[in-house]
Amino acid sequence: LGAATQGLGGALYEELVYDGAQISNANVVEYRVPRAGDMPGKIDTLLAERRDGVGPYGAKGSGEGAVNPTGAAVAAAIARALGRWPTRLPLTPERVWRLANDLPEDD
């Protein structure tokens, strides 16, 4: 679940904001990360058993595999709903609204 949370953070919230050469949201108050209330009520996990790994009893490490595809999955859902692909993350409400209204992306 940690990887899914990280993936949703990158897809929907996390972004460094610059004011010139300085990061203007480099603190825990202004840098938005997902909170418990932001997470879906249910996340399904699929485990595929194989016995050819190098670990004990043939186990393989799973790591944080859900981090990378989460942003693409959210972008694909938005593209399917709107008929246009977003080109930037995070997919903030304003960016999705601009996409839905055929407006240019923000800078």
pLDDT at 80: 98
Distance of CA 104 to the CA centre of its chain: 22
Give the C-alpha separation, 74 to 94, whole Å.
Answer: 15
Nearest CA-CA partner of 39 in 3, 77, 78, 79: 3
| pLDDT > 70 in the chain, percent | 96
Say if 75 falls within a structural domain.
Answer: yes
Residue 43's pLDDT is 83
**pLDDT tens digit string along 35-84?**
999 998 888 877 777 777 777 777 777 778 888 899 999 999 999 999 99
Q: At how many degrees (to 10) do helices 67-82 and 93-100 cross?
A: 30
Domain CATH code at residue 6: 3.30.365.10
55 domain-assigned = no
Question: By residue range, what is the domain housing residue 90?
Answer: 1-37+67-107
Which of 11-25, 60-74, 81-95 is least confident?
Answer: 60-74
> Is residue 44 a part of any domain in this protein?
no
pLDDT number for residue 2 = 86
Place 107 in a pLDDT band, splitting at 50, 70 and 90.
low
Residue 19 lies in a domain: yes
| CA–CA gap between residue 8 and residue 14 (Å, rounded) | 9
The reply to whether 105 falls in a domain is: yes
Angle at 3 between CA 39 and CA 53, to 5 degrees: 140
Q: Report how many domains make up the chain.
A: 1
For residue 28, what is the DSSP state? T
Give me the pLDDT at residue 50, please: 73
